[in-house]
Amino acid sequence: MAATERLVVDLPSDLVTAVRDVVQTGAFASESDVLEAILRAWYGDDGVAEPDIETLRAFVAEGIADADAGRFVDADKMFERLRERYRAMITDRGGG
pLDDT tens profile 19-35: 999 999 888 899 999 99
Whether 53 is covered by a domain: the verdict is yes
Whether 7 is covered by a domain: the verdict is no
Q: How confident is the model at residue 96 (pLDDT cuts 50, 70, 90)?
A: low
To the question of pTM greater than 0.85 for the whole model, the response is: no
| 67 against 49, higher pLDDT | 67
Whether 71 is covered by a domain: the verdict is yes
> Over 70: is that where the pLDDT of 61 sits?
yes
Instruction: Give the chain's domain count.
Output: 1
How far is it, in rounded angstroms, from Cα 30 to Cα 23?
A: 6
How far is it, in rounded angstroms, from Cα 31 to Cα 34?
A: 5
Per the structure, the complete domain to which residue 69 belongs is given by 13-92
